[in-house]
Amino acid sequence: MSNDFQLSLRVYYEDTDLAGIVYYANYLKFLERARTEWLRTHGFEQSVLKAQQQIVLAVRQLTIEYLKPAVFDDWLTVSVQVEKHGKASLVLNQTISRDTVMLCTASVKIACLHAQTLRPCPFPLSLLEELQQHG
């Protein structure tokens, strides 16, 4: 998993509040989209992980800092970087920026859970190997 994954996305009117800035909860959606695409680029589809390996990924903890607002029609870059990983969890650093202006930073702890019991379980070996190779 590369430490420099980036997803570009546009801010739509539906993402903004009455003041015309991105509603704070929508930053979480942007972060989630980047994590999903980050996994996809490395061959890991969450629906396939659930169907074939009986695992789901869940946000266990999230710390976010809003630095500057994003507004309608902004072109944003959302990044994903691996900070650390274990057998059943990983911590990702994520940012949202507009050009060179940092708008938001987040630290996200992801847990690997068994799809039926929702109890922690190890990540697939193939995913851990990818983390060790590129993380």
What is the set of domains in the chain, with CATH numbers? 5-134 (3.10.129.10)
Residue 131, pLDDT above cutoff 80: no
**Active-site residue, 4 included:** no
Which amino acid, one-letter code, is at 43? G
26-52 pLDDT per residue, tens: 999 999 999 999 999 988 999 999 999
Tokens linked to 93: 């650093």
Q: Is 105 exposed, middle or buried (0-12, 13-18, 19+ CB in 10 A)?
A: middle
Q: Which of 4, 15, 17, 73 is catalytic?
A: 17
Mean pLDDT value across residues 82-96: 94
Q: How confident is the model at residue 130 (pLDDT cuts 50, 70, 90)?
A: confident
What is this structure's pTM? Answer: 0.92
User: Alpha-carbon distance 31 to 104, whole Å?
Assistant: 10
Count CA atoms within 13 Å of residue 38 on its CB side: 27
Cα-based distances in Å from 40 to 1, 110, 112: 10, 16, 16
